[in-house]
Amino acid sequence: MTDNIVDRIKTFRTDIEKRKQLRAKREGEYDAAMKRLKDDYGLESMEAAEAELESLRAAVEAKDVEIAKLGTELDSMMEATG
């Protein structure tokens, strides 16, 4: 019975150590991502990054509309001259 308990404790300790290592790895990845966000884009937080992303999405959508409009105008011009 005590061998079984000792084995379970060893298993738990091993599992805890693996989880600690994984947490440390994830924290390092997070820190690196946040540093890159700041260095490359001047953004201080995930919230700022999300706001910037929404702004960029809106800008892309506006450009798509503008391009579609210019394409329609070009088609009309081509028909008028052709």
For 9-57, the pLDDT digits (tens) are 999 999 999 999 999 999 999 999 999 999 999 999 999 999 999 999 9
User: Is the pTM value of this prediction over 0.85?
Assistant: no
* 50: enclosing H helix or E strand: helix 46-81
> Are 62 and 54 contacting, i.e. CB atoms less than 8 angstroms apart?
no
Name the pLDDT band for 3 (thresholds 50, 70, 90): confident
